[in-house]
Structure 1
Amino acid sequence: MGEHSGGASAVTHNSVSGNAVIAGPLVMAGRVESLTLPAAPPCVTPRQVPRPSALFVNRAEELQKLRAAESDRGAGRIIVVSGLGGVGKTQLVAHWAARVLEQSFPGGHLYADLEEVRRDGAVDVGGVVAGFLRSLGVHPEFIPAALGERTALFRSVTASRDTLVVIDNARQAAEVRPLVPATGLLVVTSRTKLPALSMDGAVQIALDPLDQGAGVELVHSWRVADSDGAAAALVRLCGGLPLALRAVGEWLARRPHLGLNDAVRALGADGLPRLEDGTTSVNAVLDMAYMSLPAPTRRLYQLFGWLPGTTVTGSLVRAAGVPDADEAMGDLLTANVAILVETADRPRRLRLHDVVRAHAREVVRELRDAERDAVLRAVTDFYVAAVAHADIRVLGPGRFRLQPPPTRSLDELCANETLFTNGAEALEWLDAERGNLLAMLRIATEERWYDAVWKLCESLWPLYHSRKHHADSVDAHRMGIEAAQWTGRTDVEIRMRNQLARAFYGLGSYDEATRELDAAGELLGSVTDTRLSGMIWETQGLVALAARRPEDAHTLFARALEANAARNDGHGVIVQTYNVAQALLAGGRPQEALDAAGQAAALAVESGDDAMLPRLGIVQAQALHRLGRVEAAAEAAMRAAEQAAARKLYAKLDQALEVLGEVAASAEDARLRAACEAKSRELRRDAGVPSGE
């Protein structure tokens, strides 16, 4: 790359006036056409809807309504299934989805439980859409940051494939409107009818409790003996709620010497109590089921009550001190009060039914606060170490970090299962834990475990940055700033404010980013580590560049470059020189930009920092193009494309092809331009992005 930069400077300047010539146009076009793209990931059609339970009876009428709505649907039809908690809404949809012919929804079945992504009552809809896009094969580098852009891409991706989307536990119409596929069906479950969706043509299906005949059939499926009509009494006492009836069944399964009359007597003459809003509480039955569980399983049940999140893995359960973790998890599955959650990451995840989770929180109210604190502290410590390991896997051990490496290895932390083995798996694990981690940060902040708070925030940077979870990042780093202030760690506060500013920068909120950076800048005089100064100046430069203030950006990047050079940070010097080159280019100084990019490229080749070469090559190509040196510009862009392809850098490859296409257009090289456009379409197709996006 260094020789290439020197050679480029010796090329005669061409005038980009419509008669410029790229030497060997057929050869250049052939290089583009023969470019080997990164291998597309295996095409896996998502089937995410929870598996149906075997204990399911007499919902023929509702199933028929679902079938009728499915067969009669138009583009983007919506079905709302409403009913009491525990009435079986999710099971109804799961049974229907299992019976739907695969060809009815060749795009796949997508699923999300909004309770898992609800924060203080609000839902991170953008995060749900991003998860759906990844499940449909869109490469993360091509998923935009803004909700509107994500929704538009989701509609484009689903326009050519019939897709089923199932959303559990919706509370408002606004939470689900962005999730309607362009072609296919959206099925929403809710405790209310969401009348606002009627304006969108939604079909309403109300799911009532089981009538006596259906309830008796369910009871007889697990306990046949019913000599004196106790099953009918049991159905009445349970209010016809399948969840309550299954919980009674679990209670009896652990007491084979008892019969249905014993269960009736245990419930009492009044059966399930009524709540203030007139709905039925299943807590009396869940109390019975809970007390019938073995001691380790009760401990796991309590853990669900204490945890602020919604899912657990075996490693977390063991870290919390639950004995016989695998058996306890199996018991909750067998009891039909928990389900397995399918995620892209490696470990098995368990989630309680939302009604059961609410009961678990009632159960732990009776337990000592000291027990809760000890369990949550153990869980927090587990997350601090595991997330730190994930950060190291994703960004490598050389990243500047204020916290020391974890004292326990990943094998010691997770002795019975593998959380992740490489950076890609670590990122998937972090994404699957995203809701749990943000909820845990809130608990740690409330408990004043401030060291844990800022360490988690620092380690979550690769997740928030690479997956563009900017809203989560804003919430997390505000807590991180508070933690830094309470612990008197000025260096930590600077880092937290910088990472918060990067989140605002990603959202395009440059004023907010500037406020955080100004606050951090006022603290720089209190620290001696120049890397912190360089970090702030770099982000200030990025904001200035985005705000079209290239001269300010150049000054700031130059200061960041000096700070990295003072620490002999080779990678930092290359990155900041690249930033300087970008600012010079944006400021209309292409020759200086070319010189800076060439210097950085030479350093990158010398140090083996190959990942920076495509970025630098793109800047060189753009600078050469502006200087009218078309042949050299084409060669620089072509090399950048080849380097990006070799390193599976999808976005940089796409950008290099775009620059090369622009160079070809200015030289009126139709063959080369067509080759670039064709290869870009192929790249985007492999990355799951429809043509035209």
Structure 2
Amino acid sequence: MRGQEQGGQNELSGTVHGPAVQAQTVYGGIHIQSPTAPQPPPHPPWQLPPATRITDRTAELGLLERQRRRSGHAGHHTLVAVSGLGGVGKTALALAWLHALRADFPDGQLYADLGAQSPGGPADPGEVIGRFLRALGVPAAQVPAGLAERAALYRSLASGLRLVVLLDDAASAAQVRPLLPGGPSVTTVTSRWRMPGLTVDGCHSVQLEPLGVDEAVELLAATLADDRVAAQPEQARALVELCAGLPLAVRVAGARLAARPRRGITTMVRALTEEHDRLEGLAIDGDHNVRAALDLTYQELPPEAARLYRLLGLHPGTEFGDAVAIAVLARPGTAVGGAGAPPDDTGTPPPPGPGTAPDGAGAPTAPARAAPAADAPGAARALALLDLLHQANLLTDADEDRHRFHDLVRLHAAAKAVQDEPPWERAAALRRIADHYLATATEAEWAVDPQHRTMARDHGPGPVLTEEFGAGSEAALDWQERELPTLMAVLRLGRTAFPTITWQLADALWPLFLRRKFYAEWRAAHEEGLAAAEGLGDTAAQCRMLTSGGVGELGTGCHERALEMFERAARQFRADGNALGHARTLNYRGLAHQRLGRLDEAARYFTRAAEALPGVGDVRAGGLARLNLADVALTRRRPTEAARHATAAHTTLREAGDTYNAARASVLLGRAHLSRDEPDLAEAHLAPALTALRAMSAAYETARTLHALAELAEHRNDPATARSHYDEALTLYGTAGRATSPDARTARSRLASLPGPPEG
């Protein structure tokens, strides 16, 4: 059962930032202390990608530096936007400048690809700020859910720091604005589009033009690193003119020539001129020469490398790891790189097999049919082919063992896939990419929450290859977070290409959504998954999407929407004759009513769940229903009733091996005894619960236990112990992201009401 933790939601009607005092009559001295200034993170982030060689951008670098000095002398934040044609070198210029500033900005470098050209759409500013906050040392649980709150926290943290921020490939001023840190930092935005909207934010714009002929010839000479440019100066000038001064095109042409040291520049000039008509399919702002250079480079690739290049063009994300390259070249029953036959005469791969299980039914089973990509036959050859693509300047490094296409190159590769691969080969390769992400996400799901993985995972004909993300649940969550943009792109693509993967991938992302609160993606993934399940007519999958998605809606405070989703799942379970699934929705619906303040209705649903679930085979979920009943009874100030339910819940959950929820039941039982003026019995339950919850690093429930122990200390007239427990509880409420919850507000109020410590 998921979503049973009864944390309160933020019920404040407004938010105050900074110190504030509201009082009618005040006697005695008043002391107001502002929050301390933000501190640099203990390990500053250095996220900028490596700088690459640039040629004669002296004027632009000087312009950027003069703007920085002017803003810095005035004590202002420096904001510059570098815009220009794709491939003109905007990012290279920004990196060359920002890397040179490292000594003057010791608090770190932040980098984000805002994905204006991403097939999955531009990056969400809230997600980007969440990554920045975690890089600056904010625990994941303390990152607020909403964009406005995230942006406010980000500005507060950065206000006293000297940071360098690069926002690469921005789509609009509106996307950029929440990401501006303020303070003494420097922010550089790159975009294909001019951004006059940022002028109101004090932005200075730099329009980057293609290189002049002389500068482009210098870049060509640096790329070749031999004497051909000096020996054929006119041909070199003709070549860079055909490249339109775009650094990308010049580098690709130079790489081709470098691979053929005996070839004269004249030969390439002739070839580019002859192939000019082939550029029309990739025309960008009237410039066709990039396509010609890419075509020529592609033609000189070894056949295996050319095949890898065009199949990687099918990848739906902007970057990928080694495992994707190994997966796209794999074939059922063959080594990597082997040829494949069409799966059938329709030009499409076989449909996924059946096997969908009902919501939560069955025991969890470990992921199957997947193997680490590094162990696949031919993996070494695939990695060697990747190196060839890097040497040809068709790929760039995104990170260690991660790769990125320039967006024009990716489009070129995708076009070559359509041109040179039969439909069934493209469909099979795309399915292997999707299977790779589904299988690896499932491995991560299993590592974090093995109890959740009870639904089917259907793969294509294989082989199914996974990425290795390291041991432990945090490494698994980190992998899911890093790959989230690509996983969402696979989800959306799968809606029409392979809908089974769409809902199964949404299901596999449950641990990430639950623990790191990507609420926008949580909703979008389950909406896509629900639509895919509806298209398949898979009612069990529909119910899973409704219940898991409804829990996400509870987290965002959309309690009515969550209730509608739970009610719809209940109707479907009833129509399918699934008594177990229907009984489980009783708990979900009770939670929604409880969050809506309808305690009588919540109690009715929890009572029905407690009675029905053991009879349909889920004794543990029945215990959770009893736990929820105890919580409601305490809220209604019925401690005897609460003690009865908590005792029954504790017994059931302990016997089921659920130590976490058994400890939660002990806390409720302790609180019930305290309400009945039985402090010794209260302590007998609270103390061991605290020990158990501390061991599980359960921040929120540990905070609630300390809160109860603080009230117990107050009952015993021990303000020093109460103060200590309240202080720690408030710290843990913040760690768990519940600093503004009703529980935290109550603890803060009671702490403030305690008598002060004795003087001296």
Interval of TM-score (by shorter of Structure 1 and Structure 2): 0.7 to 0.9
In the alignment, which residue of structure 1 is the partner of 2:47?
A: 48
In the aligned structure 2, how far is the partner of 1:253 from the partner of 1:176? 40
> Is this contact kept in 1: 2:133–2:143, CA < 8 A?
yes
1:384 counterpart = 2:433:
no
In the alignment, which residue of structure 2 is the partner of 1:180?
A: 180
Displacement of 1:629: 5.3
Displacement of 1:200: 0.8
In the aligned structure 2, how far is the partner of 1:370 from the partner of 1:335? 28
1:267 counterpart = 2:272:
yes
In the aligned structure 2, how far is the partner of 1:235 from the partner of 1:351? 25
> Is this contact kept in 2: 1:339–1:351, CA < 8 A?
yes
Displacement of 1:524: 2.0
Higher relative contact order (CA 8 A, sep 6+): 1
> Is this contact kept in 2: 1:641–1:657, CA < 8 A?
yes
Q: How does 1:192-231 map to 2 (within 5 A)?
A: 192-223=193-224, 224-226=227-229, 227-229=231-233, 230-231=235-236
Q: How many residue pairs align between the two structures?
A: 641
Q: How does 1:599-618 map to 2 (within 5 A)?
A: 599-618=648-667
> Is this contact kept in 1: 2:117–2:407, CA < 8 A?
no
Deviations 1:65-86 (CA, angstroms, capped at 9, x unpaired) = 3334444344554221111110
In the alignment, which residue of structure 2 is the partner of 1:18?
A: none
In the aligned structure 2, how far is the partner of 1:52 from the partner of 1:407? 40
Change in Cα spacing, 1:255 to 1:429, as seen in structure 2 (3 Å) is: same
Deviations 1:80-136 (CA, angstroms, capped at 9, x unpaired) = 111111011111122223222345141x22211122896764532222222222222
Q: Give the AA of the match of 1:478.
A: E
In the aligned structure 1, how far is the partner of 2:182 from the partner of 2:737? 16
Displacement of 1:455: 2.3
1:333 counterpart = 2:390:
yes
In the alignment, which residue of structure 2 is the partner of 1:363?
A: 416
In the alignment, which residue of structure 1 is the partner of 2:33?
A: none
In the alignment, which residue of structure 2 is the partner of 1:423?
A: 473
Match of 1:67 among 65, 68, 72: 65
In the alignment, which residue of structure 1 is the partner of 2:757?
A: none
Change in Cα spacing, 1:688 to 1:147, as seen in structure 2 (3 Å) is: closer
In the alignment, which residue of structure 1 is the partner of 2:449?
A: 395
> Is this contact kept in 1: 2:522–2:549, CA < 8 A?
yes
Question: Which stretch has the larger CA shift, 242-251 or 510-519?
Answer: 510-519
> Is this contact kept in 2: 1:388–1:405, CA < 8 A?
no
> Is this contact kept in 1: 2:173–2:198, CA < 8 A?
yes
Change in Cα spacing, 1:277 to 1:443, as seen in structure 2 (3 Å) is: same
Displacement of 1:405: 9.2
1:436 counterpart = 2:436:
no
In the aligned structure 1, how far is the partner of 2:216 from the partner of 2:707? 63
Question: Which stretch has the larger CA shift, 531-540 or 117-126?
Answer: 117-126
1:351 counterpart = 2:400:
no
SS of 2:127 mapped into structure 1:
helix
Q: Give the AA of the match of 1:260.
A: I
TM-score, normalised via structure 2 length:
0.76
> Is this contact kept in 2: 1:390–1:430, CA < 8 A?
yes
In the alignment, which residue of structure 2 is the partner of 1:142?
A: 142
Displacement of 1:217: 1.5
1:531 counterpart = 2:531:
no
Displacement of 1:674: 3.8
Change in Cα spacing, 1:197 to 1:594, as seen in structure 2 (3 Å) is: farther
In the aligned structure 1, how far is the partner of 2:731 from the partner of 2:524? 38
Change in Cα spacing, 1:91 to 1:404, as seen in structure 2 (3 Å) is: closer
In the aligned structure 2, how far is the partner of 1:522 from the partner of 1:601? 31
Q: Give the AA of the match of 1:469.
A: F
In the aligned structure 1, how far is the partner of 2:186 from the partner of 2:678? 53
1:298 counterpart = 2:306:
yes
Question: Which stretch has the larger CA shift, 618-627 or 164-173?
Answer: 618-627
SS of 2:166 mapped into structure 1:
strand
Displacement of 1:197: 0.8
In the aligned structure 2, how far is the partner of 1:232 from the partner of 1:338? 26
Deviations 1:617-649 (CA, angstroms, capped at 9, x unpaired) = 543455455555567657755554443322122
In the alignment, which residue of structure 1 is the partner of 2:696?
A: 647
> Is this contact kept in 2: 1:171–1:194, CA < 8 A?
no
Deviations 1:427-472 (CA, angstroms, capped at 9, x unpaired) = 222222222222212222212x333333223222222222222222
Sequence identity (%) = 31
In the alignment, which residue of structure 2 is the partner of 1:171?
A: 171
> Is this contact kept in 2: 1:117–1:124, CA < 8 A?
no
Deviations 1:299-321 (CA, angstroms, capped at 9, x unpaired) = 23212321222222222222222
Change in Cα spacing, 1:690 to 1:519, as seen in structure 2 (3 Å) is: closer
Q: Give the AA of the match of 1:249.
A: G
In the alignment, which residue of structure 1 is the partner of 2:13?
A: none
In the aligned structure 2, how far is the partner of 1:382 from the partner of 1:362? 23
Change in Cα spacing, 1:337 to 1:518, as seen in structure 2 (3 Å) is: same
Displacement of 1:395: 0.7
Deviations 1:585-633 (CA, angstroms, capped at 9, x unpaired) = 3333333223322332344444442222553354345545555556765
Change in Cα spacing, 1:194 to 1:405, as seen in structure 2 (3 Å) is: closer
Displacement of 1:369: 2.2
Displacement of 1:484: 2.6
SS of 1:204 mapped into structure 2:
strand
In the alignment, which residue of structure 2 is the partner of 1:494?
A: 543
Displacement of 1:248: 0.6
Displacement of 1:49: 1.4
Deviations 1:244-298 (CA, angstroms, capped at 9, x unpaired) = 1111112112222212222222221897879574566622222222222222322
> Is this contact kept in 1: 2:120–2:485, CA < 8 A?
no
In the aligned structure 1, how far is the partner of 2:388 from the partner of 2:616? 55
Change in Cα spacing, 1:563 to 1:208, as seen in structure 2 (3 Å) is: farther
In the alignment, which residue of structure 2 is the partner of 1:258?
A: 263
SS of 2:205 mapped into structure 1:
strand
> Is this contact kept in 2: 1:498–1:535, CA < 8 A?
no
> Is this contact kept in 2: 1:141–1:650, CA < 8 A?
no
Deviations 1:634-690 (CA, angstroms, capped at 9, x unpaired) = 775555444332212233334444554566567774423442355457668989999
> Is this contact kept in 2: 1:142–1:651, CA < 8 A?
no
In the aligned structure 1, how far is the partner of 2:610 from the partner of 2:162? 51
Q: Give the AA of the match of 1:181.
A: P
Displacement of 1:191: 0.9
Change in Cα spacing, 1:400 to 1:60, as seen in structure 2 (3 Å) is: closer
Q: Give the AA of the match of 1:45.
A: P
1:307 counterpart = 2:305:
no
> Is this contact kept in 1: 2:667–2:705, CA < 8 A?
yes
1:586 counterpart = 2:635:
yes
In the alignment, which residue of structure 2 is the partner of 1:31?
A: none
> Is this contact kept in 1: 2:713–2:719, CA < 8 A?
yes
In the alignment, which residue of structure 2 is the partner of 1:126?
A: 126
SS of 1:540 mapped into structure 2:
helix
Question: Which stretch has the larger CA shift, 111-120 or 205-214?
Answer: 111-120
Unaligned 5+ segments in structure 2 are: 1-40, 331-336, 338-380, 746-760
In the aligned structure 1, how far is the partner of 2:695 from the partner of 2:678? 26
Q: Give the AA of the match of 1:387.
A: A
